[in-house]
Structure 1
Amino acid sequence: MSHIVTVQEAVTAFADFIEPTDAELDAIEQEMPVILADVDLLDAQIITLDRAPTELDTRRLRRARRRALAARVELANRTAGATLPAGGAA
């Protein structure tokens, strides 16, 4: 019979290193508009799961999709401008 040994000491020894770095927190902060727009889109989709979508639901979904797409485009443009030298276009 083999014994199962806990590895809590090995895991908690690195607990200080588990926290996100400042760079990771900055990246999350930059992506927050996209995350929130995706949450709004999911909310609109969840509303229509158990019933036929009404005209209001359809408009809500369309607006949420547009907001999510706009947030992604803005993030892509912002990150592309930050990675190119002098913010120029390629």
Structure 2
Amino acid sequence: MTYIVTVQDAVTAFADFMEPTNAELDAIELESPLILAEVDLLDAQIKALDHPENEVDTRRIRRARNRVLAARRDLTNRTAAATAPGGAA
């Protein structure tokens, strides 16, 4: 018995629509500071899990949270400025 299988994955594995568009790449680049700040926060939280709570870990997590908030604020301000007509706030 011969099975009939589809080869669609092999044919379309490298199709143009599988790649991110320029707009998607620009959006990723715009959000990269926020993504990196969130990764730093996650790293700080993971480090704090390995041992009992101490002041250094508390400060590290607080600073990382502040960086995430600042990155979110900057991203929001950039996107709001880009979409506001005539530069009005």
Category of TM-score, reference length = shorter chain: 0.7 to 0.9
Structure 2 CA distance for partners of 1:86 and 1:54, relative to 1, 3 Å: same
Cα distance in structure 2, aligned partners of 1:4 and 1:35: 44
Cα distance in structure 2, aligned partners of 1:4 and 1:54: 62
Cα distance in structure 1, aligned partners of 2:54 and 2:4: 56
Aligned to 1:8: 9
* 1:51, distance to aligned residue in structure 2 (A): 1.8
Q: Deviations over 1:46-73 (max 9, x none)?
A: 0011322211110000000000000001
Aligned to 1:71: 71
* 1:10, distance to aligned residue in structure 2 (A): 5.6
Aligned to 1:86: 86
Cα distance in structure 1, aligned partners of 2:30 and 2:54: 34
What RMSD, in angstroms, separates the aligned Cα atoms of the two structures? 1.7
Q: Deviations over 1:31-89 (max 9, x none)?
A: 00000000000000000113222111100000000000000010001101111102211
Instruction: Judge which range, 61-70 or 14-23, deviates more.
Output: 14-23
Taking every aligned residue pair, what percent have the same amino acid on both sides?
65
Return 5+ residue gaps in structure 2 as ranges.
none
Counterparts of 1:15-30 in structure 2, within 5 Å, are 15-30=15-30
Corresponding residue pairs, total: 86
Aligned to 1:55: 55
Counterpart code for 1:8: D
* 1:5, distance to aligned residue in structure 2 (A): 2.8
TM-score, reference length from structure 1: 0.84
